[in-house]
Amino acid sequence: MSRIGNQPISVPEGVSISRENSLVKVKGPKGELSQKVDNDFELKVEEGEITLSRPTEQKRHKALHGLYRSLVANMVEGVSQGYKRKLELVGVGYRANVQGDILELNLGYSHNIFLQIPEGIKAAAETAKGKNPILTLEGSDKQLIGQVAAKIKSLRPVEPYKGKGIRFVGEIVRRKAGKTAAK
C-alpha cells in the first residue's frame, strides 16, 4: 500500500488542473507546468482536492503510484507558491553577477564562467561587504531549479579542508583536519 500515493493533494485557489490523454497540465499564478502520467492511473479533481488511484495491485503500478502523486503535488505547489534555492559562494574573490539570462561566476579559476539560465528560472546575486556572495534561484519547476543548482554547485564543489566552494545556504560541510607536522 502506497501511503504517499493515497494522500489527497489540496489545490489552492487560482490553480486549475486538466488532463489530456497522458499529459497533466497545471496552471497557476506563477506559471504553467505539464507532466506525463500513465493512462492507467485515474486522476480525480473534486472539492479542491486531487486524488490519484491506481488500477491494480501490480508491482509496476504500486511503484509509480507515489511517484506520480509527488510529481503532481510538486507542480501544484510550484505554480501556486514557487520554489527558491539559495547558493553561497565561499572563497576569497568568489563573485556572481547576473545580466539578463546570463550568469557570470568568478570562482578562482583563470577565467570567468558564463552560464545560460534556462527559461522559467529567475536568478539574483547579492553581495554584501564582509559576507559571502549569495545566488538565489527562483521558479515554479522544482526539478529544473534543482538541476540548475546542482550544475552550478558542480563547478566548484566544497572541499573539506578549508571549506571553500559553492554550497547551499545552511548546508553543513564536514571539515577535515590537515596534516600535522612531524618532528
Could you identify the residue written with the cell 546542482?
Answer: 150
| pTM of the predicted structure, to 2 decimals | 0.87
pLDDT of residue 2: 58
Q: Which amino acid is at 47?
A: E
Domain boundaries, the chain: 3-80, 83-168
3-state helix, strand, coil in the chain (%, to 5): 20, 35, 40
**Mean pLDDT over all residues of the chain?**
91
Confidence band of 161 (pLDDT split at 50, 70, 90): very high
Decide if 3-80 and 83-168 have a common fold. yes
Confidence band of 183 (pLDDT split at 50, 70, 90): low
The domain 3-80 belongs to what CATH superfamily?
Answer: Ribosomal protein L6 (3.90.930.12)
- CATH of 83-168, picked from 2.40.50.140, 3.40.50.2000, 3.90.930.12, 3.20.20.70, is 3.90.930.12
SS3 at position 10 = strand
pLDDT of residue 40: 87
pLDDT of residue 46: 86
Confidence band of 114 (pLDDT split at 50, 70, 90): very high
Q: Rounded to whole angstroms, how far apart are CA atoms 168 and 151?
A: 12
Mean pLDDT calculated for residue range 29-56: 90
Mean pLDDT calculated for residue range 114-138: 94
How far CA 11 is from CA of 41, 53, 111, in Å, comes to 19, 17, 47
